[in-house]
Structure formats: C-alpha cells, structure tokens
Structure 1
Amino acid sequence: MTIRVATTDDAALLARLQDAFDTEFGAPPADLDVLTRRYAALLADPDGFAILAGTPEETTGFGTVTLRPTIYHDGPLAVLDELYVIPGLRDRGIGTRLLNAVVDEVRRRDGGGLHINVDEIDHDTRRFYERHGFVNIEPGTDYRMLLYLREF
C-alpha cells in the first residue's frame, strides 16, 4: 500500500472520498463539483494538504489537514480536518499509516502541533487517537478541553 501527499490532480478523488465519509456519518449529500473545487484550492495552498492511502487503482483512505499561524509555536498549528478509511478496510492499520504520514508531513512543514476534533460519542475514534498519543486533557490539568463552534 502506498501512502502519499495528494496533488491538485487528486481533487476529484478526494471529493468522492469526502462524500463517502459524509454519507457514512449522515451529513447532507455533497455537491461533488463544489467539493472538487474546494479540494483543488486547498491542495494548491501551502497552508493545506491531504494524504492518500492505497494504490492508483484503489484508494483506501485519506487525511485532510489545514495549517495556520499561531503564537504558541514558531511553525504553524495543524488541524486534522478529516481522517477516513473505507469501512470494509478498517482495522488493517491503514488509519495508523495515514495518521503517521499526517504527523510526518506536519513536522516536515515545521508544525508545532496537531489538533483533532472528535465527537464525544465517537468512542472508537477517540480510542484510536488516544492510542496514538493524543489527549483531551492538557498536561498538568484534570479537566477536558472542549471545542466551541459557530458557523457562518
């Protein structure tokens, strides 16, 4: 299995994978043309990237990351926007390989940290990230970090 950083040529593929992810988790149907345009823009911007897993014939998963400047590190802070493995191929290490590739790419871009938002009820996903060293309690505290959201 190949793990690679996506290029702008992969925008339509990523849009289809994003649509599969959204459909699995009950999000409204996506407009693939809009998603393709957005992925193309993200992949053309140095502040975003995606990682693909699989072969040219069969892509098995992806991760999408955005980067932003922060006062907490000299390099950017990364946010893992999506990490997805096709359902029938889970529990084979693909997610781990994708996550490791994401972390490696963030480090290559001098990132200072990686944030991941996970729904509280998604216990399997939370265990996955905790198994890979991510925490929702800052060192030295005994309370969880929370994400607040307001869409425009």
Structure 2
Amino acid sequence: MSDPTEVPVVRATSADAAVVGRLLWDFNEEFSFDGPGADEFAGRFASLLDGDDVVVLLTGSRDDPSGFAFLTLRPTPYYDGPLAQLEELYVKPHLRDRGLGTALLRAAVDLVRSRRGGEIHINVDEVDADTRRFYERNGFTNIQPGEDYRMLCYLREL
C-alpha cells in the first residue's frame, strides 16, 4: 500500500476530458450502470471542466490515470463556501488497495476546505459494505453525531 500523502493528485482540465470520460464509463461498466458512452461523457466534460463548479482530480499519469474523484460544487447559505457532492470516486480494479482512493478523497476534502466549503455529500449503495467502510474510515458518517436514524437520499429521474 502506498502512503496516500505521497500519491500525486492533479486537477483535470478540459484537455483531460477524454480520459475522464473513459474513467466514468469504466466505473459505470464495472457496476452495470447504463448511461452515456465514454465519448459522450468526454464531450460533456470538455465544457464542464472549464468551469469552477465541477472538479475532477486524477491520480496516475494524465494519459492513463489510475483513478479519479469527480466533485460538483454549489452555493449554499449555510457556509461561506460551497456544498460539495462527491459524484464518483473510482480507482481501476487492479490498482486498488494501494492508497490511491484515499489520496483522491483527501485531495477532494482539501480542495473543498480551501474553498471554505462546509460539507461533502456522498451517496453510497447500502449493500456496498466495502465502500461504506472506506468512507467511514476517512471520517464520513451515515448519520449525524447524536442521532439514531439513517439519512436517506431521494431522487426522481426526469
């Protein structure tokens, strides 16, 4: 396992849209999620990555990254900075358990802190025990301290 503090993490730019699109597609394929293809994702990331409210962090080389963290940031009256949503965090399967995911998550937390954000939200499938343990090990909780009920996430496809 690598020391997560020594794993290089860089912010993706629109020039990285193709590799980011491929990583998101790989993530969706691994978990059997139907969605756009890698090229369609790349086209969308080409414009999204030029803004300030979508951030993708990469580890590994820019041409062949080993993983990524995809965050969206939105204004909120609750904090001076944004509320962040960690949309996806993905490390290629053969490179897991080397501290890469931890490095990406720490870099994401540091980025949100540097923007004076107050919270990061993450949605995790309840049955995905390994992922839940990963986030809990890194300071995230499914319930607020002192509470005894689970927080639920509702959605409606449009």
Give the structure-2-normalised TM-score.
0.91
Please list the CA deviations of residues 30-63 of structure 1 after superposition, one character each: whole Å capped at 9, or x if unmatched.
3233211211222111111000000245310000
Q: Does 2:128 align with 1:140?
A: no
Amino acid at match of 2:132: R
- Per the alignment, residue 34 of structure 1 pairs with 40
Please list the CA deviations of residues 119-142 of structure 1 after superposition, one character each: whole Å capped at 9, or x if unmatched.
000000000000000001112211
- Per the alignment, residue 7 of structure 1 pairs with 13
1:1-152 matches, cutoff 5 A: 1-28=7-34, 30-152=36-158
User: How many equivalent residue pairs?
Assistant: 152
Cα RMSD over matched residues?
Answer: 1.3
Q: Aligned partners of 1:44 and 1:57: how far apart in 2? A: 18
Q: Aligned partners of 1:70 and 1:32: how far apart in 2? A: 31
Gaps of 5+ in 2: 1-6
Give the structure-1-normalised TM-score.
0.95
Asked if structure 1 preserves the Cα contact closer than 8 Å seen for 2:25 and 2:38, the reply is yes
Gaps of 5+ in 1: none
Deviation of 1:29 after TM superposition, in Å, equals: 5.5
Asked if structure 1 preserves the Cα contact closer than 8 Å seen for 2:22 and 2:39, the reply is no
Identity percentage over the alignment? Answer: 55
Please list the CA deviations of residues 93-122 of structure 1 after superposition, one character each: whole Å capped at 9, or x if unmatched.
000000001111111222111000000000
Asked if structure 2 preserves the Cα contact closer than 8 Å seen for 1:84 and 1:95, the reply is yes
Q: Aligned partners of 1:109 and 1:43: how far apart in 2? A: 17
Q: Which has the higher contact order (CA 8 A, sep 6+)?
A: 2
